[in-house]
Amino acid sequence: MTFNVPDVADVTGSVKSALLAINEAKDLAGLKIVKTEHLGDKSALSKASQALGKLAAENRAELGKVVGSAKAEVTAAFEAKLKELEIIRDLKVLSEERVDVSLPASKLPKGGLHPLTILTNEISDLFIGLGYRVAEGPELEAEWLNFDALNIPADHPARTMQDTFFIEPLESKLVLRTHTSPVQIRTMLENKPPIYVICPGRTYRADELDATHTPVFSQVEGLVIDRGITMADLKGTLDYFAQSIFGPNVKTRLRPSFFPFTEPSAEVDFFFNGRWIEWGGCGMVNPKVLEVCGIDTSEFSGFAFGMGLERTLMVRHGITDMHDIVEGDVRFTRSFGISGR
């Protein structure tokens, strides 16, 4: 609507339609559109104001009053509606975004250490208490360190394809370590005696996963090199170890055995819940191994031992299926507590 010559009836009509539109606005967005339409520069009322200039002076004053009060009326109605819609919007936001502070928080379950980790920490702590260090080595190991340096000759059954995961290309001479014993060699090559270390870690053999085997398992190795070390020291250490892990009255026994890297060698058993249970291997470090590592055998001797951690855990906790240890089901892990370290 254009007011070439504004007239009172037109202005009254504009006010009416503006008030109606304001009244019908449902929300702030709608009201904003109404404002542009009825109070904006291009609205009928603004155009009426602009057209006033074209009128003769005597008509201008009277019509000016009419247009002025029309604008004031529409503006007042707009302001009132704006306040009303703002209050409605605020109430809506308050009710929709209300936070019930009395609701219980959604809790994430606390994680827990795997029982093997707990056992490893426990063993590390008890040997650190005896003055040992914890030594580590890589799981991807040089064949030489895993076998040759430990006096395991090339035709030894442990080196056949059945047991060992060889890494391609075969010329790389790398294997997934089949035991933690290569860490003994690394430790002796890097440190001068006296040496007191344990080496916990993951080991690999080409076995099928079943109730008592897993291709990825864990061992802990012990190595002591010092002056005047004898088998009595080995036996005393194993007794202390077994009693710390299985209980104060647990006995150990040694049975003659063979390992290429120890001479003499023994199997260590412990007496638990009324029966003897095989635990691991041990012996006096073979002088050939000491020599490979540049240790003077006229001055130093040492003992070593190695046992499986899964087996230790299974016996101690009456776990009958290896799957429980490797599968990582939280229902199993949780039964060992969430404290750990």
Q: How far apart are CA 119 and CA 112, in angstroms?
A: 13
Interface pick for ligand DAH out of 18, 119, 197, 282 (rule CB under 6 A): 282
SS3 of 247, please?
A: coil
Token pair recorded at residue 36: 């542009």
CB of 172 to ligand DAH, least distance (A): 22
Kindly tell me the number of DSSP H helices and DSSP E strands found in the chain.
12, 9
Site for ligand DAH in 64-103 (CB under 6 A): none
Instruction: Sketch the per residue contact string, 198 through 237, with ligand DAH: x for CB under 6 A, - otherwise.
Output: -----------------------x----------------
Strand order in the sheet with 262-272: 133-134, 195-204, 216-226, 301-308, 275-285, 262-272, 251-259
Q: How far apart are CA 85 and CA 96, in angstroms?
A: 16
Per CB under 6 A, which region of 8-16, 31-39, 60-68, 301-309 contacts ligand DAH? 301-309
Interface pick for ligand DAH out of 118, 306, 309, 312 (rule CB under 6 A): 306
Interface pick for ligand DAH out of 283, 292, 314, 322 (rule CB under 6 A): 283
How many residues touch ligand DAH (CB under 6 A)?
12
Q: How far apart are CA 334 and CA 332, in angstroms?
A: 5
CB of 315 to ligand DAH, least distance (A): 17
Residue 119 CB burial class (10 angstroms; 0-12, 13-18, ≥19): buried
Nearest CB to ligand DAH, comparing residues 48 and 152: 152
Beta pairing, strands 195-204 & 174-176 = unpaired
CB of 262 to ligand DAH, least distance (A): 4
Verify binding: residue 279, ligand DAH, rule CB under 6 A.
Answer: no
Verify binding: residue 304, ligand DAH, rule CB under 6 A.
Answer: yes
Q: How far apart are CA 73 and CA 15, in angstroms?
A: 8
Peptide bond into 260 cis (omega under 30): no
Instruction: Sketch the per residue contact string, 160 through 199, with ligand DAH: x for CB under 6 A, - otherwise.
Output: -------------------x-x------------------
Nearest CB to ligand DAH, comparing residues 37 and 267: 267
Taking the CA atoms of the chain, what radius of gyration do you get in angstroms?
44
Nearest CB to ligand DAH, comparing residues 3 and 305: 305
Verify binding: residue 309, ligand DAH, rule CB under 6 A.
Answer: no
- Calculate the CA 19 to chain-centre distance: 63
Q: Write out the residues near ligand DAH by the rule CB under 6 A.
A: 179, 181, 221, 259, 262, 280-283, 304-306
